[in-house]
Homo-oligomer: A and B are copies of this chain.
């Protein structure tokens, strides 16, 4: 009897292996060979599921974003305006091990996107969704009278997202200077002053 292969399951295993290699050894080290070894498959099996290394990396990034969205959907259920915005921004900071791994994956893609237009396009599309969500919640917050400042909300959204990216990066690069509590506090301070 032929072995029954669950193709979706195999793809998930490969992507999970790719994420582990990137987070542990860096995106430079995530060759198709290294990913195959981590997943316990041959290079040939990998080639059956993914056209090239970039397709594996992109699928891993999209998978990570999907998991973040699913988790976040639970956290903001029933919330609107500033309360929902707080959850969105805090959830995107590397405040626990799971989110630290997600952020390491994200930072790895930043530099790679600068040299690879195909990766950059995907990253722009995904970042666009998050920006739209933040902008929408700021609009709700203003409608509800929760904002003291009368700044242009597109500007506020950009500043908050830049702060989120910068704090995420600095927590990963400077664990000697910044703790997770520090980074959470710095983001909350900023939200209190909106």
**A107: Cβ under 8 A from any B Cβ:** yes
Instruction: Tell me whether A172 and B115 are in contact in the complex, defined as CB-CB below 8 angstroms, given that A159-B189, A159-B190, A190-B159 are known contacts.
Output: no
How far in angstroms is the closest Cβ of chain B from A114?
Answer: 6
Q: Which residues of B contact A116 (CB under 8 A)?
A: 26
Inter-chain contact A110/B111, CB cutoff 8 Å:
yes
Inter-chain contact A173/B113, CB cutoff 8 Å:
yes
Closest B residue to A24 by beta carbon equals: B115
**A8: Cβ under 8 A from any B Cβ:** no
Counting every copy of the chain, the complex holds: 2
Stretch at the interface among A41-49, A83-91, A162-170: A162-170
Inter-chain contact B186/A162, CB cutoff 8 Å:
yes
**A182: Cβ under 8 A from any B Cβ:** yes
Q: A interface, how many residues as a size bin?
A: 35 or more
Stretch at the interface among A11-19, A60-68, A119-127: A119-127
Q: Which of A26, A127, A161, A164 is most buried by chain B, counting CB atoms within 10 A of its CB?
A: A26
Checking B115, B120, B182 against A158 with a beta-carbon cut-off of 8 angstroms, the contacting residue is B182
Checking B27, B115, B166 against A29 with a beta-carbon cut-off of 8 angstroms, the contacting residue is B115
Inter-chain contact B173/A114, CB cutoff 8 Å:
yes
Q: A25-B115, A104-B114 are in contact. List 19 more A-B contacts (CB 8 A).
A: A26-B112, A27-B28, A28-B28, A28-B112, A107-B110, A108-B111, A110-B169, A113-B173, A114-B173, A124-B173, A131-B177, A155-B185, A162-B162, A162-B163, A162-B170, A163-B166, A165-B165, A166-B166, A166-B167
Give the interface of A toward B (CB within 8 A). 24-29, 104, 107-108, 110-116, 120, 123-124, 127-128, 131, 151, 155, 158-159, 161-167, 169-170, 172-174, 176-178, 182, 185-186, 189-190
